[in-house]
Amino acid sequence: MTGQIASEQDYINRQVLYRVRADVTVSVVNATNTQVILDDILGNVSGIKASTIESTLHQNSAGTIIRTIDPDSWTDVAFYEDSWVTGISFQDALNEFRGNNMTIILERRVANDLDLKLYDEIGIDFQSGARKLKVVGFFGPEPTEVQTPFGRYSSSIQMWSYVPRDLFNMSSPYSDAFQAESFESKIMLKLNDDTNGTQVAESIRNLGLEIYGVQSFDEELRRTQASTDVYTYNNLLVLDVQRLGLIFVVVAASVGTALISIVSMRERSREATLMSVKGLSYRQLVWMFLSENITVVTFAIVLGLVVGFIIVYGNVASASTAIQELVERRVVFPTDSLITIGSFISLIFASAILPIIVMSRQYVTKLERMIRLR
């Protein structure tokens, strides 16, 4: 249950990052003024660690959405996962961008439709002119085969492709590419670890720049707790119920373990007395009972951990298979989850050990009192 909670929370956080694209994203009205607006933001807002510009282009003959990125700054700012690019690693594909502007990380759906392989070339007719680009990677998940009553077909979701920003020579705000193409530009910001993303977003809004929207990861993450957020609200409700149920489960397990230890020690009271009469010290008596009981408890805990991990992995795998999306669920155990599991294990061990120690002490004390009376 702890693994399911941690994995679902990780999935929600990554979904929010996927929607925002960075710590803070600023949507610009006029693409030609993007660099000027970025300079204004950097000059008036503190707490910004790194920045980059990403432009989106819809009109092209390949039928894919194309995003232009700066390979030197984009990876330091934007949210991405290495698994999104296949055929080659994301970093190797970006290295190809640095060495050759006539390259593209092509959308997997388009590559499959055109039967293109890695390092093949694709001709794309842009508004500013036709270009022949080398495919240095494939973006998006592999299409899945779906069985229907009418037969099997390949299911794929539309993504986008990446090209180097210098492909369109956009170093100057008045370049020919800006005049010929229809770009939608976004400024993406990476913040310092101790910077409040909500305050940065509000500061940018108050600058009065030529922008039409500012998104902050901090703001969007808080909105996931609102009932109006159809993406995550129900999932968060389930997490809250699971956390509450987990507490009851562990308390019940600890009480049950303690009761079993108490009953077992009461049934072996005569055995404990005989062992003490034969010369076993209090420490030896405790170690004898602990070695028997703790072995069973340890086996139960190890079995529970193994079975629990298998269940978590199976649930995550089945959820990822059922819904094809870019941000997939994954099995994670962050530090707080490991601390939680360790605390629960310690509580169960304590519930098994403490009754043995206390009752062994009582047996020895009772025996010593009887000897003194005689």
Task: Say what the pLDDT of residue 240 is.
Answer: 74
Please give the Cα distance from 141 to 157 (Å, whole number). Answer: 8
Closest Cα partner for 70 from 85, 87, 89, 50? Answer: 50
Per-residue burial over 187-200, b if 16 or more Cβ lie within 10 Å, else e, is: bbbbbeeebebbeb
Task: Say what the pLDDT of residue 285 is.
Answer: 73
Q: How many residues are given for the chain?
A: 374
> Any idea what DSSP says for residue 181?
S
Q: Which of 266-275, 326-335, 341-350, 354-363 has the lowest mean pLDDT?
A: 266-275
For residue 233, what are its two tokens?
Answer: 């609200």
Q: Mean pLDDT, to the nearest integer, of 257-286?
A: 72
Task: Say what the pLDDT of residue 171 is.
Answer: 56
Q: Mean pLDDT, to the nearest integer, of 52-71?
A: 90
Per-residue confidence at 119, pLDDT binned at 50, 70, 90?
very high
Per-residue confidence at 373, pLDDT binned at 50, 70, 90?
very low
pTM equals 0.77
- Average pLDDT for the chain: 83
Q: Mean pLDDT, to the nearest integer, of 298-308?
A: 90
Q: Mean pLDDT, to the nearest integer, of 318-336?
A: 82
- Using alpha carbons, list the distances in angstroms from residue 326 to 151, 225, 253, 278: 26, 23, 39, 69
Higher pLDDT, 239 or 184: 184
Q: Mean pLDDT, to the nearest integer, of 276-292?
A: 72
Task: Say what the pLDDT of residue 372 is.
Answer: 45
- The residues pairing with 33 across neighbouring beta strands, listed in sequence order, are none
Q: Mean pLDDT, to the nearest integer, of 178-184?
A: 72
Give per-residue pLDDT as tens, 135-157: 999 998 877 665 555 445 455 66
Give per-residue pLDDT as tens, 213-268: 999 999 988 887 665 565 566 666 777 777 788 888 888 888 888 888 788 777 77
| Residue 82 CA, distance from chain mean position | 13
Please give the Cα distance from 358 to 138 (Å, whole number). Answer: 65
Q: Which residue has the tokens 């809250």?
A: 240
Listed in order, strand segments (DSSP E) in 140-253 are: 144-148, 151-155, 161-164, 183-191, 211-216
| Residue 350 main-chain phi, psi, to 5 deg | -65, -40
Angle 233-267/335-373 helices, nearest 10 degrees?
Answer: 20
Task: Say what the pLDDT of residue 359 is.
Answer: 74
Sign of CA dihedral 235, 236, 237, 241: positive
Rounded percentage of the chain residues whose pLDDT exceeds 70: 82
**Can you give 221-265 as a three-state secondary structure string?**
HHHCCCCCCCCCHHHHHHHHHHHHHHHHHHHHHHHHHHHHHHHHH
